[in-house]
């Protein structure tokens, strides 16, 4: 396992980390029971994974993860979770108060069976809310940091509505965040345009989400996605006539589109870790093998950027 520096936190983090959301939500949507998740987490830790990322909004994910991690010494892993500051997705004056921040944090600590969170993240920040979140909620997180309940403060973007990263581009310069969770994959690499440079400038640790989802891993979803992209003018319609619009990537020495997705996502210098959201141990091992093959060749990255680098459309699923 390769380890990278998580920005100014100075933590060393595995280049592949375990995400507990996504379509699976740590087995909640795929029929994997607690025993199965215990085996998944054990396999991950034995393979070198040391970061587990969850959220209060992921159903029972925090409780499931807390139980799975209970047998392991707390120093053996890093915990990241998130709180939802605006569950209704409304206007800035609908944002929760500091009391709710404290309540959510205490609930997460209890569910995860721990005394502290390594990275506590604002979940799905939207552009319209940047100022009020930074001015009203972040100071409370800083107080909780001083109290020892959290070690570092992070922010995640709502990539499904913000494919060009406007919220992060506007909040990072405030200098109050230690990490950023960024949507990034080979079909939307717009974070390369300015965001990653900003993260490097401010020494933020970068966690990558959506590196591989159904739109990349499943040929049926790939065909549908490319048809949507062509219909909206993002790509040439002739590409959709190809049996698999991404099959050309296999000519660059990769075994699968999924492998290409993970290897592409770990490529940028700014990236600390790439989340994988599987609840299947065999799938996890496959993703670990993909990461073990190292970054893609320069020629592969150049061709990906040439074909898709202009796309800023949200490609969340």
* Residues forming the active site: 58
Query: What is the maximal distance between C-alpha atoms in the chain?
Result: 58
Q: At what angle do helices 257-265 and 281-292 cross, to 10 degrees?
A: 60
158: nearest Cα among 123, 194, 208: 123
CA distance 188 to 202: 23
d(CA 268, CA 199): 11
CA separation for the pair 312, 187 (Å, rounded): 9
* Contact (CB, 8 A) for 236 and 230: yes
DSSP assignments along the chain, one per residue: --EEE-BTT--EEESEEEES-TTTTTTTTTT--HHHHHHHHHHHHHTT--EEE--TTSTTHHHHHHHHHTTS-GGG-EEEEEE-S-TT---GGGS--HHHHHHHHHHHHHHHT-S-EEEEEEEEE-GGGHHHIIIIIHHHHHHHHHTTSEEEEEEEE-TTT-TT-HHHHHHGGGS--SEEEEE-BTTB-GGGTTHHHHHHHTTBEEEEE-SS-HHHH-HHHHHHHHHHHHHTTSS-GGGGGSSSTTGGGGGGS-S-HHHHHHHHHT-STTEEEEEE----HHHHHHHHHHHHT-SPPHHHHHHHHHHHTT--S----
């Amino acid at each position: 396992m390769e380890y990278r520096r998580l920005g100014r936190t100075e933590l060393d983090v595995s280049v592949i980390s375990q995400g507990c959301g996504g379509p699976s939500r740590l087995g909640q949507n795929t029929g994997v029971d607690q025993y199965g998740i215990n085996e998944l987490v054990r396999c991950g830790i034995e393979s070198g994974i040391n970061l587990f990322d969850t959220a209060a909004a992921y159903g029972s994910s925090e409780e499931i993860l807390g139980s799975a991690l209970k047998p392991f010494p707390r120093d053996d892993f890093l915990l990241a979770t998130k709180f939802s500051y605006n569950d209704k997705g409304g206007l800035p004056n609908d944002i929760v108060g500091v009391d709710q921040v404290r309540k959510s944090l205490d609930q997460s600590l209890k569910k995860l069976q721990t005394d502290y969170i390594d990275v506590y993240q604002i979940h799905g920040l939207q552009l319209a809310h940047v100022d009020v979140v930074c001015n009203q909620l972040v100071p409370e997180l800083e107080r909780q940091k001083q109290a020892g309940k959290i070690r570092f403060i992070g922010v995640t973007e709502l990539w499904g509505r913000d494919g060009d990263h406007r919220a992060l581009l506007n909040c990072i310069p405030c200098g109050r965040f230690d990490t950023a969770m960024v949507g990034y994959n080979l079909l939307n690499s717009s974070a390369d345009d300015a965001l990653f440079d900003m993260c490097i400038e401010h020494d933020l640790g970068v966690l990558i989400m959506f590196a591989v989802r159904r739109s990349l891993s499943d040929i049926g979803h790939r065909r549908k996605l490319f048809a949507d992209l062509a219909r909206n003018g993002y790509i040439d319609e002739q590409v959709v006539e190809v049996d698999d619009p991404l099959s050309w990537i296999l000519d660059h020495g990769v075994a699968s589109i999924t492998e290409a997705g993970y290897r592409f996502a770990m490529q940028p210098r700014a990236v600390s870790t790439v989340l994988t959201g599987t609840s299947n141990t065999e799938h996890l091992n496959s993703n670990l093998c993909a990461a073990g093959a190292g970054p893609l060749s320069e020629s592969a990255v150049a061709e990906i950027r040439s074909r898709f680098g202009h796309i800023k459309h949200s490609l969340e699923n």
